[in-house]
Amino acid sequence: MDTLEIIHPGSLTTVQDLGRNGYQQYGVPVSGAIDSYALRLGNLLVGNSEGLPSLEVTLFGCRLRFLADATIAITGADLSPTLDGKPVDMWNCTTVKRGGILAFSRLKSGCRAYLAVGGGISVPVVMGSAATYVRGHIGGFQGRALRAGDVIRTIRFEGSIPVARIPSGYIPNYASNKIELRVTLGPQDDYFTDNGIRTFLNSAYTVSTQADRMGYRLNGPRIQHRAGADIITDGIPLGAVQVPGDGLPIILLADRQTTGGYTKIATVISPDIPLLAQAKPGDEVAFRKVTQDEAFLALQAYEQRIQQLAKLLGPDTVRFDNV
């Protein structure tokens, strides 16, 4: 069913789900929503299963026309969404009539908003996922960012319209321009001097203008290697903090390369990636060391929190698993 027409795509708008897992050994990045928390909650609000494709809207300028009645939820960054010129409540289930114009006009907080549509966005599944990997022209809508004139199809919503709102305690605060990220050291922390490790853990860094879905380059104190930055190429996990020869860290994200030959001093734990996803150039980043056990407990608590929320939204909400 034709549901959305792109009037203006804004800075960058793509179709994303929870990513393309199982293909990194072939050089295919996982991709998917950088702020997976916001995508999952948006889907839960409109009665979808958590991982269905949604639109990831970056910064501002995106304008859409609805070609059919729809149930939507907007989560993530506050980009001042309006429907026919009137503000739209975020983290809330909203009904839109055919012909409605949804606009993301101004950045208030965060960086990336997510638009979930009841029934889910319908695009071809490539290697088990609808996620867009723009550099590789894979997945999403014709393997690319959306353009003016594109028409997005959705699965017809057959269930009752959910009436749901995310409780305030589950809504992240994106207003701060200072973010603390928990990290586990390694896998190559032994390639850095003791002073280099202290510099990394006790310094404030700022997000540079070289920040995109692939990764964030940071500016700040240089981290000292023992000898050099080069290693035998190995795999790169989500959140890896790579430190090349210039000593400035790069945090690698959803569209990261699958392997790399620079030392990785640490890895940002999974529950903190969504907060990093909402950081903008100029925002401040600091790192705090945690143990692997602490990281595991944090992930467990994070997942339990999402499942508790799914129950709070009610057992009568229809869940769509098709894409």
Residues 228 and 132 in one domain: no
Given a cut of 50, whether residue 322 has pLDDT beyond it is no
Residues 165 and 191 in one domain: no
Residues 209 and 160 in one domain: no
Statement: the pTM of the whole predicted model exceeds 0.75: yes
Average pLDDT along the chain: 93
Mean pLDDT value of segment 306-322: 66
Band (313; pLDDT cuts 50, 70, 90): confident
Q: In whole angstroms, give the CA distance from residue 18 to residue 95.
A: 25
Residue-range definition of the domain harbouring residue 284: 178-290
Band (157; pLDDT cuts 50, 70, 90): low
Mean pLDDT value of segment 102-112: 95
Report pLDDT for 321. 42
- CA 280 to each of CA 72, 211, 264, 285, 286: distance values in angstroms, whole numbers, following the listed order: 26, 8, 23, 10, 14
Given a cut of 80, whether residue 43 has pLDDT beyond it is yes
42 close to 114: Cβ distance less than 8 angstroms: yes
Domain total in the chain: 2
Residues 84 and 141 in one domain: yes
The residue to which tokens 């529950």 are assigned:
271
Band (312; pLDDT cuts 50, 70, 90): confident
94 within some domain: yes
CATH (domain of 195): 2.40.100.10
Residues 33 and 153 in one domain: yes
Given a cut of 50, whether residue 319 has pLDDT beyond it is no
Closest CA to 121 of 19, 17, 203, 206: 17
Q: What is the pLDDT of residues 193-252, one digit of tens each?
A: 999 999 999 999 999 999 999 999 999 999 999 999 999 999 999 999 999 999 999 999
Residues 167 and 183 in one domain: no
Band (320; pLDDT cuts 50, 70, 90): very low
Report pLDDT for 176. 87
Residues 24 and 112 in one domain: yes
317 within some domain: no
Q: In whole angstroms, give the CA distance from residue 73 to residue 90.
A: 7
